């Protein structure tokens, strides 16, 4: 079975802190994605990557950056966390179109 793991299930950070969310997949997938999920808004794509050291902006990249130094690892970075970034963050990997999701990180910024 494909496994996508995320470094934390719950995280509480203060406004202005730099936040790292880590995602690791074990199936050698080329594609990886970061989404945020908010009630009534579904999943919104923040960034995605089709290969190592490659990144593409999604629909809501402002306030975020990403890093993909190794194929299995895709990191989401909040350079200076703000309260409007309080959300559920989901990482996914895919081969072809089917996406496999991690369990999510619920981030609270106070």
Partner 1 sequence: TQLLEQSPQFLSIQEGENLTVYCNSSSVFSSLQWYRQEPGEGPVLLVTVVTGGEVKKLKRLTFQFGDARKDSSLHITAAQPGDTGLYLCAGEGETSGSRLTFGEGTQLTVNP
13 vs 57 by CB, closer to partner 1: 57
The distance of closest approach from Cβ of residue 93 to partner 1 in the complex, given in angstroms and rounded to an integer, is 10
CA distance 10 to 6: 10
CB proximity list for 58: less than 8 A, separation 6 or greater: 33, 34, 35, 44, 45, 46, 47, 48
Q: Does the footprint of partner 1 cover residue 47 (CB under 8 A)?
A: no
2 touches partner 1 (CB under 8 A): no
Residues lying near partner 1 in the complex (CB under 8 A) are found at 4, 9, 31, 33, 35, 40-45, 48, 50, 58-59, 90, 92, 94, 96-104
């Amino acid at each position: 079975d494909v496994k996508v793991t995320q470094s934390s299930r719950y995280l509480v950070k203060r406004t202005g802190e730099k936040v790292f969310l880590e995602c690791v997949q074990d199936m050698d997938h080329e594609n990886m994605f970061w989404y945020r999920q908010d009630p009534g808004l579904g999943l919104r794509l923040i960034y995605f990557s089709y290969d190592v050291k490659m990144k593409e902006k999604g629909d809501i990249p402002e306030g975020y950056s990403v890093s993909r130094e190794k194929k299995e690892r895709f990191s989401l970075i909040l350079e200076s966390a703000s309260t409007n970034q309080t959300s559920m963050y989901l990482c996914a990997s895919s081969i072809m179109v089917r996406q496999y999701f991690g369990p999510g990180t619920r981030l609270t910024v106070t």
